[in-house]
Amino acid sequence: MDKRRILLLGSTGSIGIQTLDVVSCHPESFEIAGLAAGSDFNTLAEQAVATGAEYLGLADTSAAGKLRDRFPDARVFAGADGLVEMVSAVEPDLVVGAISGFAGLPSVLAALEAGINVALANKEPLVAAGALVMETARRSGAEVIPIDSELSAIFQCIEGECKAAITRILLTASGGPFATLPAEQLAEVTPEQALAHPNWKMGRKVTIDSATLANKGFEIFEVRWLFGVSFEQVQVVVHHQSIIHSLVEFCDTSVIAQLGWPDMRVPIQYALSYPQRLPAPLKPLDLAAAGPFTFAEPDAEKFPCLRLARQAAQAGAGYPVVLTGADEAAVQLFLAGRIRFTDIPVFVERALEAHDGTPADNLQDIQRLNDWAYEYVSEMRSNR
């Protein structure tokens, strides 16, 4: 395959660092043209030296100033708008969208508008703005290639299949660190406990979302928008081992699954090399060692975030935007020790109830509604 020039947005995070690992294993196939992150100057500077990237960006403008001093020959972009400008300045073959939270949406949209393919890890763009993201891609002819392991699994299962023949998507969930904890003990769990995911090492926001199952709710949106199925066709199945990354059922009752070790470098690499495959430096899957495999229904009462996501999906009309803004604020409050774990869904539900149902279809309205939900929850007080 021709060498691909990559713009890596969110380079200092868990997905970003693993993307650089994949790129360094295949220097003949990939080259890092640009790196961008939030405020972590030190990590970004190290990555700039290691990759020789000519375009650098930080959302934090004072940290971006330090980048200018340190790399006088690089083109440096500063602030949220700077990261959007960076996309068209770099003109990469592929943008990797690995910024966490809602902040990743504008640059992903800018890439798709410019007709640039996006390998997407960041969930919030498809939750808050799924119709806008996919319509933007359709108009320009750009592709959205999923990085998330479950989404990548589905993407691989339907490759070459007729989409009209899909009857159900079976989205697997590890269940998170509290799958077996009695519900009455959930109120006392600490951020440290919630951050200790049994199978995956990820950024803080997505790890807490995995513990509340909000993450699985977000993936229902991702499946709906990426693969054009209805929300009702997406069924969540708890599979603690995280070896079966998801399954697709077809009209003849055949079910196709994708399996692999829980290692994000595999779906990242597939998104970078798609439609080709490259070797990966992992031991082959050993089914006997990885099993036995278990499957169960999620506990929707114990984990209300899953129910809230489905309600927001069915309601439409801006509710999915409120879901992302409210969840982001509630997770921050929990990580700061200001609310209990069980307050997260309570706060999100209050924000959903407070929304007046006004739709948000363009970036400006979506941004405004997300900010409103974020502020609404940030100002709430816990009963603790």
Ligand X SMILES: NC(=O)c1ccc[n+]([C@@H]2O[C@H](COP(=O)([O-])OP(=O)(O)OC[C@H]3O[C@@H](n4cnc5c(N)ncnc54)[C@H](OP(=O)(O)O)[C@@H]3O)[C@@H](O)[C@H]2O)c1
Q: Report the interface residues with ligand X, using CB under 6 A.
A: 10-16, 37-40, 59, 83, 98-100, 103, 121-123, 148, 200, 202-206, 264
Q: List helix spans (H) across the chain.
A: 14-25, 41-51, 61-70, 79-90, 105-113, 124-140, 149-157, 191-194, 204-212, 214-227, 265-273, 287-290, 304-315, 319-335, 343-354, 363-378
The least distance separating ligand X from the CB of residue 374, rounded to whole angstroms, comes to 12
The least distance separating ligand X from the CB of residue 379, rounded to whole angstroms, comes to 20
The least distance separating ligand X from the CB of residue 16, rounded to whole angstroms, comes to 5
The least distance separating ligand X from the CB of residue 11, rounded to whole angstroms, comes to 6
Which one, 128 or 170, has the nearer CB to ligand X?
128
* Sequence-distant (≥ 6) Cβ neighbours of residue 182 within 8 angstroms: none
Which one, 33 or 249, has the nearer CB to ligand X?
33
Residue 379 DSSP label:
T
The least distance separating ligand X from the CB of residue 311, rounded to whole angstroms, comes to 21
**Residue 7, SS3 per DSSP:** strand
Which one, 8 or 142, has the nearer CB to ligand X?
8
What is the largest distance, in Å, between two alpha-carbon atoms of the chain? Answer: 62
Which one, 224 or 249, has the nearer CB to ligand X?
224
Which one, 37 or 369, has the nearer CB to ligand X?
37
* Sequence-distant (≥ 6) Cβ neighbours of residue 245 within 8 angstroms: 149, 150, 152, 153, 172, 257, 258, 259, 260, 267
The least distance separating ligand X from the CB of residue 10, rounded to whole angstroms, comes to 4
Which one, 205 or 340, has the nearer CB to ligand X?
205
282 phi, psi to nearest 5 deg: -125, 155
Bridge-based pairing of strands 144-146 and 244-250 is unpaired
Residue 349 DSSP label:
H
Pull the structure tokens for residue 122.
Answer: 């960041």
Cα–Cα distance measured from residue 163 to residue 158, given in angstroms and rounded to the nearest whole number: 7
Cα–Cα distance measured from residue 309 to residue 236, given in angstroms and rounded to the nearest whole number: 12
The least distance separating ligand X from the CB of residue 337, rounded to whole angstroms, comes to 18
The least distance separating ligand X from the CB of residue 149, rounded to whole angstroms, comes to 7
Q: Which residue is nearest to ligand X (CB)?
A: 13
Cα–Cα distance measured from residue 313 to residue 130, given in angstroms and rounded to the nearest whole number: 11
* CA distance to 163, 231, 235, 311, per residue, from 168 (Å): 11, 10, 7, 19
Q: Which residue from 376, 370, 315 is spatially nearest to 350, judged by alpha carbons?
A: 376
Q: DSSP states of 163-215 as a string?
A: GGGEEEEEEEE---TTTTS-GGGGGG--HHHHT--SS----HHHHHHHHHTHH
Which one, 68 or 139, has the nearer CB to ligand X?
68
The least distance separating ligand X from the CB of residue 326, rounded to whole angstroms, comes to 16
Which one, 12 or 51, has the nearer CB to ligand X?
12
Which one, 3 or 201, has the nearer CB to ligand X?
201
Q: Which residue from 323, 332, 156, 168 is spatially nearest to 245, judged by alpha carbons?
A: 156
**Residue 217, SS3 per DSSP:** helix
The least distance separating ligand X from the CB of residue 302, rounded to whole angstroms, comes to 22
Which one, 65 or 167, has the nearer CB to ligand X?
65
